[in-house]
Amino acid sequence: MAEVLVLVDHVDGQVKKVTLELLTAARRIGEPSAVVVGEATDELKAKLGEYGAEKIYTAPAEIDDYVVAPKAELLAKLAADKSAAAVLVSATAENKEVAGRTAVKLGSGVLTDVVDVTPEVVAEHSIFGGAVITHAKVTSGVPVVAVRPNAIPAEPSSGAAAVEAVEIEISDAAKAARITDRVKQEKGARPELTEAAVVVSGGRGVGSEDFSVVENLADALGGAVGASRAAVDAGWYPHAFQVGQTGKTVSPNLYIALGISGAIQHRAGMQTSKTIVAVNKDPEAPILEISDFAVVGDLHKVAPQLTEEINKRK
């Protein structure tokens, strides 16, 4: 079976959830081979193996000292050497550029912001805020596919996870832009929005920049805080927390929408959540159509009571 290369996203040896989703997608197409820049720690190997990686290619850590270009050289070389069936990366801003450059080097095509992929590498895109689904295929060469995080559910399946070091001479041209410093983003106690099992989001219905009603419920549930674009545009919450078409896509086990109407652009970023709960004072709000449970009422009365009850039971 042909190999399918998956570029691994990891932070300090912790594999990101999106990589597990990519390995799941890769298994449909062929045999998943994880591509790790830097050392494959035991923890990393175990996790990648648990999600079906048959091989783990480790590439020199110095590749991470430069922006995008060396990663494209690495993926293009591996795809050619191994006659890969496809190359999968996460559709982050950085990796979409890696994908584009890799496809140019391979003389093939790139598909970005993909939400699903078939064994024939037909990629599904969700456009116009999820109103229309399109399908696309690369017609020549090795398809390079950038898949949106949280679009394909990760499913475990054991793989051999055999480690193989890649020898590669990165060109001087690819080393033109060196990373001179990295600043760690201040991290609060809450989980990362796109990785969280529980997300509590607030919308215009919150009514002010005092988002504590949303934050308190998120904290009671050990979840992340999200926001609608209306709340973000009003300056009530930072854009990094916006859920939707022009924000993040989330797919938690539980999504609680407080004072969010459920516009199609918001739904595009959360409608694959397993269980959706809405609190809205309007019984006609569109969010109720996709909610598993809903409370029609004032969020400022409902959410604090819910928070109190959860804290009491903990």
Ligand X SMILES: Cc1cc2nc3c(=O)[nH]c(=O)nc-3n(C[C@H](O)[C@H](O)[C@H](O)COP(=O)(O)OP(=O)(O)OC[C@H]3O[C@@H](n4cnc5c(N)ncnc54)[C@H](O)[C@@H]3O)c2cc1C
Instruction: Closer to ligand X by CB, 223 or 259: give it.
Output: 259
Q: Give 113's contacts (C-beta < 8 A, 6+ positions apart).
A: 91, 96, 125, 146, 148
Q: Residues interacting with ligand X, by CB under 6 A?
A: 203-205, 228-231, 242-247, 259-261, 263, 265-266, 269, 279-282, 285, 298-300
Measured from the CB atom, the residue of 191 and 203 that comes closer to ligand X is 203
For residue 178, give the DSSP letter.
Answer: B
The helix, strand and coil proportions of the chain, stated in percent and rounded to the nearest 5, come to 35, 25, 40
In the complex, minimum distance from the CB of residue 195 to ligand X, in angstroms, rounded to a whole number: 18
* Phi, psi (degrees; rounded to nearest 5) at 196: -70, 145
- Nearest approach, Cβ of residue 239 and ligand X (Å): 10
Query: In the complex with ligand X, which residue's Cβ is closer, 87 or 224?
Result: 224
Q: CA distances (Å), 58 to each of 34, 36, 55, 176, 222, in order?
A: 8, 5, 10, 23, 34
Of 265 and 272, which CB lies nearer to ligand X in the complex structure? 265
> 20 or 200: whose CB is closer to ligand X?
200
Least distance in angstroms from the C-beta of 271 to ligand X = 12
Q: Evaluate whether 198 touches 277 at the Cβ level (below 8 Å).
A: no
End-to-end CA distance of the chain: 49
State the nearest-atom distance from the C-beta of 25 to ligand X, in Å: 24
The minimum distance between CB 287 and ligand X, in angstroms, equals: 7
The smaller minimum CB distance to ligand X, of residues 102 and 291, is found at 291
- Least CB distance to ligand X at residue 42 (A): 39
Rank residues 60 and 259 by Cβ distance to ligand X and give the closer one: 259
Query: What is the C-alpha separation between 292 and 276, in angstroms, rounded?
Result: 5
Task: Give the whole-angstrom CA distance, residue 172 versus residue 100.
Answer: 19
**Separation between Cα atoms, residue 49 and residue 228, nearest integer Å:** 37
Nearest to 86 by CA among 25, 9, 16: 25
- Give me the least distance between CB of 265 and ligand X, in Å please: 3
